[in-house]
Each structure stands twice: as structure tokens, then as C-alpha cells.
Amino acid sequence: MSNYTDGAVTKLRSIVAIIDQEIVQVPPTPALRAAWAELVEVLALGPSPQTRECPSCHGIGMRAASRCGHCWAALEPLPLLSDGTPLQGDA
């Protein structure tokens, strides 16, 4: 894993996601594409943590949490993701 702070990792992930989208809009040169792929690999941010929204206070917390970290309401266990996101250990 990386040595970045949690805040930095979150910000880097969002920046990477934005650039990923923009690169699709305007196809880059092969050199830029290769450099970008290499940069993402070196950053090694890993997948975003799975989060969920609390039905009571709409606060965002970890998907695996059994209680909301904001209002402490009990949370229903969620089924596996159905949005196509690869699950950890699904290799």
C-alpha cells in the first residue's frame, strides 16, 4: 500500500478518476497514455473503500459497518455489490 495520508489518497483517487474520464473524451498520444498508466501504477492507490449512505441521517460510512458512524443507527447488512464493481478477492 502507499505511504500517503488517507486524505491525500482520497484526493489522488478523485484526481485520477477525473483524468481517466478526460482522457477518454480526447484520446491522448501513445506517449501520454503510457505515462499516465505508469503514473497510476506507481501511485498504487488501490480501489476506493466501499461506502454506504445511512438511511437515517444520509451520512456516508463504511459499507461493512453495522452502525452509522454519524447518528449510530443500526444498519441493515447489505448484499454484494450489483453495480459491476469488482469485489475484493474475486480473482
From the list 4-12, 23-31, 61-69, 76-84, the region that binds Zn ion by CB under 5 A is 61-69
CB of 47 to Zn ion, least distance (A): 24
The span of 17-25, 35-43, 68-76, 77-85 binding Zn ion (CB under 5 A) equals 68-76
- Alpha carbons 20 and 77: distance in angstroms, whole number: 32
Give contact residues for Zn ion (rule: CB under 5 A). 54, 56-57, 59, 68, 70-71, 73
